[in-house]
Amino acid sequence: MSDSVFAGLQPAAVWSHFATLCRTPRQSKAEDALRDHLLDWALSRGLAAQVDDAGNLIVRKPASPGHESAPGVVLQGHLDMVCQANADTPHDFSRDAIRPRRDGGWLVADGTTLGADNGIGVALILAALEDKTLVHGPLEALFTVDEEAGMGGAQGLAPGVLQGRLMLNLDTEDWGEFYLGCTGGADVNVQRPGHPARLPTGFVCRQIRLGGLRGGHSGVNIHEERGNAIKLLVRVLRSLEADFPLRMASLQGGTARNALPREAQAVVALSTTLVAELEEALAGWQALLREELAGVDEGVSLHASPASAELLLAETEQAVWLASLHAAPHGVRRWSLAVPGVVETSNNLGVVSVGPTEGSANFMVRSLRDSGSTALAEEIVSLFALSATPAEISGHYPGWTPNPASPLLALCQAAYTREFGGESQVKVIHAGLECGIIGAKYPGLDTVSFGPTIRGAHAPGERVDIDSVGRAWQLFTAILADIARSPR
């Protein structure tokens, strides 16, 4: 990756750190190389730094002169990124650098996610740790791991490690908005053994691929009614098997639990005499889906190509999987009555992998109410129990309950008005920030989240507004100075 794409961008320190993040692979559960690099970076600058038992990196910076008694501030972001690439983009996230480019006033990656979520937040924090001119009280930077795949770093953070009374989380994606609450949630993991069958004589195989969807964040974008490739393909397969004999060899869809599935494919077997009818039926389905998804995901595509398979799912297994996935919930379940315009409870059918000998699926449930996520997760478990398919709820994490009377929020809003004029907005996000988990371990921690404008997180085409990064830095440093100068 060439750093020339960052030439001239301001603030230079922030973009320099983001360039390092782009060069360094940082899949969830594989952040070691980046974390170790940042540990060495901090120690080489005389900053106290440690890695805790969960793998999180904690860096401490003393207060600027004269502000030693100011309230301590925790600066928080996560090191990992969602790794998504288009089918026609060869990219190995375990070793390849992200390839960003400028597109007008945006920075975007070619064919992959950019990692601005949460790389820009991490870069802002690193720049603050490095800058010797800033006015601030005692700082603790908490760089968590495994956020995107289960919030393992935040879950593993021990009580008593952090000393700060205030926390600035830099993991939200709409400039001019302060976030004061988020959903909690859980995963439902389904696993079922299979019973393979042989390919019947006179049958040929075809791969049916559904693609062309936008994808996106499974929480932030869930209310937009974007297509779910798994749900759509299962719907098509259910219709096809009702019209003519169709046997399934495999079904694959989605690559991340917290991303809306953009692509899904199934290998099916059918009589050689029905191939032309299959292609005609798929053309009809493509036209129908484009009509249904007009204005949201009208680029959906559906086509068949030659394939091969020696084993198929047993007919009973095919029936169980297609019926269960067809009936399984996806999307918004309930809108909040307390916070109008905010989704309260939702679910994402994010990943499916079914073959002749076994199959699995993952659902990610979110809710502003712990009781809401529990109820929906248990509903999914009950659905699969009807076919004696094991399903378990795991990785539950608490939500972040809004506190509109937060003194830190008032300070942040005042800083925004002074620096930029106008009024900021206060929001609750339908996504799982780590604030709720950390707050449960540190009762009384006053927390606010903000960040630059990022669009398309968790999907190829993810981009960050370049100018908003500069404004986020201006606001970030102003807030730190205001905290340092605030009455004790």
| Positions marked active-site | 80, 147
Sequence-distant (6+) residues with CB within 8 A of 66 are: none
Q: How many CB atoms lie under 10 A from the CB of residue 12?
A: 12
β-strand 358-367 against 100-103: which pairing, if any?
unpaired
Cα separation, 203 vs 211, whole angstroms: 25
- In the chain, what's the furthest Cα-to-Cα distance? 84
Cα separation, 393 vs 168, whole angstroms: 31
DSSP state of 227: -
How many angstroms separate the Cα of 320 from the Cα of each of 205, 341, 355, 434, 451?
Answer: 21, 37, 13, 36, 44
CB-based burial label for 133 (10 Å; 0-12, 13-18, 19+): exposed
Sequence-distant (6+) residues with CB within 8 A of 319 are: none
Nearest to 326 by CA among 210, 225, 238, 194: 238
**Calculated CA dihedral for residues 124, 130, 134, 137, nearest 10 degrees:** 90
Cα 214–Cα 218–Cα 222 angle in degrees, nearest 5:
80
Nearest to 56 by CA among 131, 145, 126, 120: 145
- Look at the block and give the residue holding tokens 């605030």: 486
Cα separation, 246 vs 268, whole angstroms: 7
For residue 190, what are the β-bridge partners? 361, 391
Q: How many CB atoms lie under 10 A from the CB of residue 390?
A: 12
Do residues 442 and 162 touch, judged by C-beta distance below 8 A?
yes
- φ, ψ dihedrals at 267, nearest 5°: -95, 125
